Amino acid sequence: MAYRFSPWRVLMECATSSPGAVVAGHPGAEAFVTDAVRELLRIVGDATLTTSRRAAAFASAVGRLTDAPIARAYDGRLWPGPVDGMTLLGSTSRRPDEVIVMISIRDDRAFAPIQMSWRVARSAGEWRLIDVECCGVWLSGERRSTLAGRRRE
Protein backbone atom coordinates (compact mmCIF):
# COMPACT_ATOMS: atom_id res chain seq x y z
CA MET A 1 0.00 0.00 0.00
CA ALA A 2 1.44 3.38 -1.03
CA TYR A 3 1.56 6.35 1.33
CA ARG A 4 -0.16 9.34 -0.24
CA PHE A 5 -0.03 12.97 0.76
CA SER A 6 -3.47 14.44 0.99
CA PRO A 7 -4.04 18.21 1.01
CA TRP A 8 -5.71 17.86 4.40
CA ARG A 9 -2.68 16.13 5.94
CA VAL A 10 -0.28 18.72 4.54
CA LEU A 11 -2.49 21.53 5.87
CA MET A 12 -2.64 19.98 9.34
CA GLU A 13 1.15 19.51 9.45
CA CYS A 14 1.64 23.18 8.56
CA ALA A 15 -0.84 24.24 11.23
CA THR A 16 1.07 22.69 14.11
CA SER A 17 2.26 25.09 16.76
CA SER A 18 5.74 26.58 16.77
CA PRO A 19 8.25 25.51 19.42
CA GLY A 20 7.75 28.72 21.41
CA ALA A 21 4.17 29.33 22.43
CA VAL A 22 2.71 32.59 21.17
CA VAL A 23 0.03 34.09 23.37
CA ALA A 24 -2.51 36.04 21.37
CA GLY A 25 -4.17 39.03 22.92
CA HIS A 26 -2.88 40.85 25.97
CA PRO A 27 -5.52 43.26 27.32
CA GLY A 28 -3.17 45.30 29.51
CA ALA A 29 -0.66 45.98 26.73
CA GLU A 30 -3.45 46.62 24.23
CA ALA A 31 -5.07 49.19 26.55
CA PHE A 32 -1.70 50.91 27.09
CA VAL A 33 -1.06 51.23 23.34
CA THR A 34 -4.65 52.25 22.55
CA ASP A 35 -4.58 55.03 25.15
CA ALA A 36 -1.11 56.18 24.05
CA VAL A 37 -1.97 56.32 20.35
CA ARG A 38 -5.20 58.18 21.03
CA GLU A 39 -3.30 60.74 23.13
CA LEU A 40 -0.64 61.19 20.43
CA LEU A 41 -3.27 61.57 17.70
CA ARG A 42 -5.07 64.20 19.80
CA ILE A 43 -1.81 66.13 20.10
CA VAL A 44 -0.82 65.99 16.40
CA GLY A 45 -4.39 66.87 15.39
CA ASP A 46 -4.76 69.85 17.75
CA ALA A 47 -5.04 72.90 15.48
CA THR A 48 -5.12 75.24 18.49
CA LEU A 49 -1.43 74.57 19.21
CA THR A 50 1.41 76.22 17.33
CA THR A 51 3.83 74.00 15.44
CA SER A 52 6.52 74.27 18.12
CA ARG A 53 4.06 73.68 20.99
CA ARG A 54 2.61 70.67 19.16
CA ALA A 55 6.13 69.22 18.71
CA ALA A 56 6.96 69.85 22.38
CA ALA A 57 3.71 68.28 23.58
CA PHE A 58 4.35 65.24 21.36
CA ALA A 59 7.92 64.83 22.67
CA SER A 60 6.67 65.13 26.25
CA ALA A 61 3.96 62.50 25.67
CA VAL A 62 6.41 60.07 24.05
CA GLY A 63 8.83 60.68 26.92
CA ARG A 64 6.14 59.52 29.37
CA LEU A 65 5.66 56.32 27.33
CA THR A 66 9.27 55.18 27.19
CA ASP A 67 12.33 55.00 29.41
CA ALA A 68 14.72 55.80 26.55
CA PRO A 69 15.70 59.38 25.84
CA ILE A 70 14.23 60.58 22.56
CA ALA A 71 15.48 63.13 20.12
CA ARG A 72 13.14 65.43 18.27
CA ALA A 73 11.17 62.96 16.18
CA TYR A 74 8.20 65.10 15.11
CA ASP A 75 8.34 68.48 13.40
CA GLY A 76 4.95 69.69 14.65
CA ARG A 77 2.99 69.51 11.42
CA LEU A 78 -0.76 69.27 11.87
CA TRP A 79 -2.17 65.76 11.30
CA PRO A 80 -4.77 66.10 8.53
CA GLY A 81 -6.41 62.75 9.28
CA PRO A 82 -9.06 61.91 11.85
CA VAL A 83 -7.82 61.90 15.44
CA ASP A 84 -10.19 59.05 16.29
CA GLY A 85 -9.13 56.82 13.38
CA MET A 86 -7.13 54.23 15.34
CA THR A 87 -8.13 50.56 15.23
CA LEU A 88 -6.65 47.84 17.43
CA LEU A 89 -5.73 44.81 15.31
CA GLY A 90 -4.50 42.54 18.11
CA SER A 91 -1.38 41.53 19.97
CA THR A 92 1.06 38.67 20.31
CA SER A 93 3.58 37.74 22.94
CA ARG A 94 6.26 35.12 23.39
CA ARG A 95 6.83 36.24 26.97
CA PRO A 96 4.29 37.64 29.43
CA ASP A 97 6.36 40.79 29.99
CA GLU A 98 6.88 41.73 26.32
CA VAL A 99 4.06 42.20 23.81
CA ILE A 100 3.75 43.39 20.22
CA VAL A 101 0.50 45.29 19.67
CA MET A 102 -0.68 45.82 16.10
CA ILE A 103 -2.78 48.86 15.19
CA SER A 104 -3.96 50.70 12.11
CA ILE A 105 -4.53 54.42 11.75
CA ARG A 106 -6.96 55.72 9.16
CA ASP A 107 -5.42 58.27 6.82
CA ASP A 108 -7.95 59.82 4.46
CA ARG A 109 -5.16 60.90 2.10
CA ALA A 110 -3.87 57.34 1.63
CA PHE A 111 -5.33 54.34 -0.17
CA ALA A 112 -5.03 52.11 2.90
CA PRO A 113 -4.69 52.71 6.65
CA ILE A 114 -1.23 53.04 8.16
CA GLN A 115 -0.38 49.81 9.95
CA MET A 116 2.01 49.90 12.87
CA SER A 117 3.26 47.58 15.59
CA TRP A 118 4.29 48.76 19.03
CA ARG A 119 6.63 46.58 21.07
CA VAL A 120 5.95 47.19 24.75
CA ALA A 121 7.35 45.66 27.92
CA ARG A 122 6.22 45.60 31.51
CA SER A 123 8.72 47.54 33.64
CA ALA A 124 8.21 48.19 37.34
CA GLY A 125 4.56 47.17 37.08
CA GLU A 126 3.66 49.40 34.13
CA TRP A 127 3.87 49.09 30.37
CA ARG A 128 6.61 51.01 28.56
CA LEU A 129 7.23 51.55 24.85
CA ILE A 130 10.35 49.80 23.53
CA ASP A 131 10.07 50.10 19.75
CA VAL A 132 7.71 51.04 16.93
CA GLU A 133 7.43 49.39 13.52
CA CYS A 134 5.95 51.07 10.46
CA CYS A 135 6.23 49.90 6.85
CA GLY A 136 8.34 46.92 7.93
CA VAL A 137 11.02 48.99 9.69
CA TRP A 138 11.55 48.84 13.44
CA LEU A 139 12.75 52.28 14.55
CA SER A 140 15.28 51.09 17.15
CA GLY A 141 16.81 48.73 14.56
CA GLU A 142 16.97 51.59 12.05
CA ARG A 143 18.56 53.84 14.68
CA ARG A 144 21.17 51.18 15.53
CA SER A 145 22.11 50.73 11.85
CA THR A 146 22.27 54.51 11.32
CA LEU A 147 24.52 54.96 14.36
CA ALA A 148 26.74 52.06 13.27
CA GLY A 149 27.09 53.68 9.84
CA ARG A 150 28.06 57.00 11.41
CA ARG A 151 30.69 55.34 13.61
CA ARG A 152 32.35 53.79 10.53
CA GLU A 153 32.65 57.21 8.82
Residues 86-104: tens digit of each pLDDT:
999 999 987 878 999 999 9
CB atoms within 10 A of CB 19: 4
Task: Name the CATH topology of 25-152.
Answer: Nuclear Transport Factor 2; Chain: A, (3.10.450)
* Predicted model pTM: 0.74
Which 3 state secondary structure label does DSSP give 79?
coil
Residues 93-148: tens digit of each pLDDT:
878 789 999 999 998 888 888 899 999 999 888 999 999 998 888 887 654 554 44
Residues 45-74: tens digit of each pLDDT:
999 999 999 999 999 999 899 877 766 678
Domain spans of the chain, in order of start: 25-152
Share of the chain above pLDDT 70, in %: 73
Edge-first strand order for the sheet with 98-105 is 23-24, 86-95, 98-105, 114-123, 126-134, 137-138
Crossing angle between the packed helical segments 51-65 and 27-44, to the nearest 10 degrees: 170
